[in-house]
Amino acid sequence: MNVLERVRVARREGDLASLLAAVPFMSAMGMRMTPRGDEVVGELPFAPPWIGNYTIEALHGGTLGALLESTAIVQLLWARDREVLPRLVNITLQYLRTGRAVDTFARAEILKEGRRVAVVRAEAWQEDPARPVASAQMHFLLR
């Protein structure tokens, strides 16, 4: 079963676990993606390898980027059946606060979806969704 077939099964069954299991990087990082209606909530459970600065016990910015991009792609896949996997054209990341050594969550909003390109904005937070630790805006090619 390829990734897009897994997505179709996941959308029918309302469970994204088999999709994540098929993507080595996301499963190696222990990411979780939980559907909540039309939205997907991404989660990066804290683990010691995600640290970027051990003196202040801060998450590596790359782990936040990985969670934001992953959540955006899964949100695009969750929104509708697709012929091809969305391909990243560019990503602009803003680091807003120090990511602490706790679990991190993310959500993504499709700002615009055309025939060829989607614009997606994603935010990551820890305890308080109103205090994001990082955000990203991305363009994806859809065909």
Partner 1 sequence: MSDRDRVLARINEGFATKVPYNAWLGLEAIDFGPGRAVFRLPARPDHVGDPERGVPHGGAITAAMDATAGAAVFLALETPLRIATLDLRLDYLRAAPAGCDLFFSASCIRVATQVAFTRGVAHAGDETDPFVSSVGTFMVFRGQASPLMGVGGEES
Site for partner 1, rule CB under 8 A: 2-3, 22-26, 28-29, 48-56, 58-67, 69-70, 85, 87-99, 133-134
User: Residue 99 Cβ, how far from partner 1 at the closest point, in Å?
Assistant: 6
- Residue 94 or 127 having the CB closest to partner 1: 94
Token reading at 126 = 């820890």
Whichever of 10 and 134 has its CB closer to partner 1, that residue is 134
Beta carbons of 41 and 33 less than 8 angstroms apart = yes
Q: Closest CB to partner 1 among 25 and 38?
A: 25
**Shortest reach from residue 5's CB to partner 1, in Å:** 11
Q: C-beta of 83: minimal distance to partner 1 in Å?
A: 13
Question: Closest approach of Cβ 44 to partner 1, in Å?
Answer: 10
Distances (CA, A) of 60 to 19, 65, 85, 134, 139: 25, 9, 27, 11, 23
Q: Which residues contact 19 (CB under 8 A, 6 or more apart)?
A: 3, 6, 7, 10, 33, 74, 77
> Which residue number, 109 or 141, has a Cβ lying nearer to partner 1?
141
